[in-house]
Structure 1
């Protein structure tokens, strides 16, 4: 009689995948849950959370799973979680700011690495040089770290000698090839270059050869990252740090055209208007002055807003009456640049340590002209969008006789204007008080002929 054996327990597999196993008090992580788990306060940790954390979309930060009293130390993170959610719903992408602290962290990708049919084939020669590896910053090293770095360099004297010998041998081969070509074409009496001498490290230790030292250090750092020629299958010895372009703020790959058509308009409110010449002066009404608006939980900079509108006027002094609709506009986010990424590990961790620069623009509805250019007002993909044809540009012949178009393909026609030049002259005489009765002189007859000819032309 055989006994039934129990199957393997799934507890170990579930434990490895749980949030409890990935918990690290040194890393600032935001935990969330949904559905019935949120109603019961179950975040995947050791014990359920109290009713104060059981809302519709809860966000918490756990400081310790078990304290001295056997309780879970936690704090709410509703502001941080909702801000990330609002930013995702806005659909705005983010890029590293130029010359920012985040862009200076090594090899930050400037563009997304995507596999496309328009990419260069692997068989072709690379058109771009590989980015050199980062060298250790010996100026920021402590004394023990610097001594350790010097001992590491002393063990590479043999590699340094071989590097210099290979460089000189390569230069000698190039000189021999050039001399041979010159010998065959012009002068048979040319003297060939002398072969390179063995490298003497004592001679190379002079301060004038600092360029060779830098070239060797760069070559040694590149060998740790990139494989040698012919060893493409060999993995690199060092892991190349490649930080995210926007520190994980956004993972969208939309371009500006997609953002303009697909992203929704966001409700915003004008907060501060500053003078372009004097930033200390606020509430200026010039159109070129930058305006700060609150949109998607951030402060964005907008230019070109007409602050003279009644609903956009901001009162610096409260008189007991507040207009809740003052400063409300519809805006779209144009660009987001990450200047400083928030700290994840340490005491001062959280979104408060990050810094981004947001630029937006006011959305005009139902205007179909943006920056003087007409665009298709229909939704993309509809038959109206495909069949839409931009009207041809036209220029008026003069300020008094504008040109209009009738049917498509028709020639432009002149618009008949009532006020002719003779009538304008007559009005000018009346305004000056110099009107005289008409006579049958030669000048009056010529003026009447001019009026008749102008009427015929009209």
Structure 2
């Protein structure tokens, strides 16, 4: 290789090996720290793991005194005037999803609640001309495909999403008011048209604002719709009644107090505390119990004078929430100047006593387990067992044995009917939730 060629190759090599400018230490620290996602107007829960949890390093300005590996915190202020980091424990808030998985209940939006108005509707379902839209089916995490528009059942009538005035700043709220004032003539015309369709409808303003909101995104298919979780993120399991009866275990709880009592029908409603929640149990009073105490024992919490409990076991029982008896009325508002916590969620839960359920079932064990099979063998009727064939009467050839088996052929519907009876016995006929008593 000649000298000019060697010098050219060396120059090219020098040009390609230009050192890159390293990022600043502050940028690297900010990218790896959780402080980059901190926003005081968004309710967020922070956690840390392994050695960072042992040292109290939460990715903030200074280490905290919380040294638990499973700690959950809400950071109220990163740095105050007194150079302190204000935080609040959020351990119970973070375990809400785990609680619903343990009790085996999937909350449903209450038809009369506030959360159903924010519930995002399905774009694939057929919609009427008045602008009302229906809730989206839970087709995610499912083995079935999305239903076709003509096959969707329109069961719950709700309204499309509208801008939330509570989350607007003053200037944006003023612009929103000026926009609404310009829509007054159109709203009056809209009300006149709706009078002939349904005179009993009293929420014309919600339908009108929802229709105007959808008009701004009909031409643009990439418009982002607000689509909150059906249960506000309280639960991510979608279990049916059979799955809840098989996988979930009954939970111990206490009967707190009798809420309502009707002497005419001898029925009442009992509030029950279980799993960190307060559910409602429908009970039936004994005949002739007018003016007497409730036959169901209540929890003895002592007296105001400080006397101990007379019976610590009073009011204890084992309960199971109804799979279709948990309703979400309103969810906490986690975005705002003062984010709300899980305590602001309003749930309506119906429970049933499970202490006598195992006695009513022929096999109280879980299907598929060794205890379940052994129990079925013990409870088998001796008259239905296969008789023992004497040695002298046994067939001597395989063809004769086949003929002997053909004499008593099994019924075709024996296995399906037995399977259905087993599944029905597993679920156990629990009382259905009454919509009037939610």
TM-score, length basis structure 2: 0.58
2:44 aligned partner:
29
Partner residue, 1:112: 138
Could you list the per-position Cα deviations for residues 95-141 of structure 1 after superposition, in whole angstroms to 9, with x for gaps in the alignment?
Answer: 1112101112253645313275543677x866568997556799x99
Contact 1:301–1:360 (Cα < 8 Å) also in 2? yes
2:53 counterpart residue number: 38
In the aligned structure 2, how far is the partner of 1:300 from the partner of 1:209? 42
Q: Using the TM superposition, give the Cα deviation of residue 301 of structure 1 relative to its aligned residue in structure 2, in angstroms.
A: 0.8
Larger-gyration structure (1/2)? 1
Cα separation, 1, equivalents of 2:35 and 2:101: 27
> What does 1:42-441 align with in structure 2 at a 5 Å threshold?
42-50=57-65, 53-55=66-68, 57-81=70-94, 85-105=98-118, 107=120, 109=135, 111-114=137-140, 116=142, 118-119=144-145, 133-134=160-161, 145-149=176-180, 210-211=192-193, 221-226=213-218, 235-237=221-223, 239-277=224-262, 288-304=267-283, 308=295, 314=300, 320-334=308-322, 335-344=325-334, 345-347=336-338, 349-364=340-355, 367-369=358-360, 374=361, 377-382=364-369, 407-408=383-384
Tell me the number of residue pairs that the alignment of Structure 1 and Structure 2 aligns.
325
Instruction: Give distance in 2, aligned partners of 1:56 and 1:216.
Output: 51
Q: Which secondary structure does the structure 2 equivalent of 1:113 belong to? A: coil
Which residue of structure 1 lines up, in the alignment, with residue 397 of structure 2? none
- Rounded Cα–Cα distance in structure 1 between residues aligned with 2:109 and 2:53: 36
The answer as to whether partners of 1:83 and 1:296 remain within 8 angstroms in 2 is no
Residues 254-284 of structure 1 deviation map (CA, whole Å, 9 limit, x = unaligned):
1121111111222211211234228xxxxxx
Unaligned 5+ runs, structure 1: 155-159, 161-204, 228-233, 279-285, 390-404, 411-458
For 2:315 and 2:188, the matched residues in 1 are separated by 69
Gaps of at least 5 residues in structure 2 are: 1-9, 122-134, 196-203, 286-293, 387-438
Moved more, 65-74 or 335-344: 65-74
Distance between the aligned counterparts of 1:112 and 1:62, measured in 2? 34
The separation in 2 between residues aligned to 1:207 and 1:263, in whole angstroms, is 54
- Taking a change above 3 Å as real, the CA distance of residues 102 and 8 of structure 1, as seen in their structure-2 partners, is same
Distance 1:125 1:291 in 2: 44
Q: Distance in 2 between matches of 1:315 and 1:210?
A: 60
Query: In the TM superposition, what is the alpha-carbon distance from 1:13 to its structure 2 partner?
Result: 6.7
Quote how far apart the aligned CAs of 1:325 are.
Answer: 2.2
CA gap 1:320/1:119 in 2 versus in 1, 3 angstroms: closer
Per-residue deviation, 1:348 = 6.1
- In structure 2, the residue corresponding to 1:367 is in which secondary structure? helix
Q: Which has the higher contact order (CA 8 A, sep 6+)?
A: 2
- Counterpart contact for 2:139–2:146, Cα < 8 Å: no
The CA deviation at 1:91 is: 3.5
Alpha-carbon distance change, 305 to 81 in structure 1, aligned in 2, over 3 angstroms: farther
After superposition, the Cα gap between the structure-2 partners of 1:24 and 1:84, relative to the gap in structure 1 and judged at 3 Å, is: same
Once the 2 structures are TM-superposed, how far is the Cα of residue 147 of structure 1 from its aligned partner? Answer: 3.4
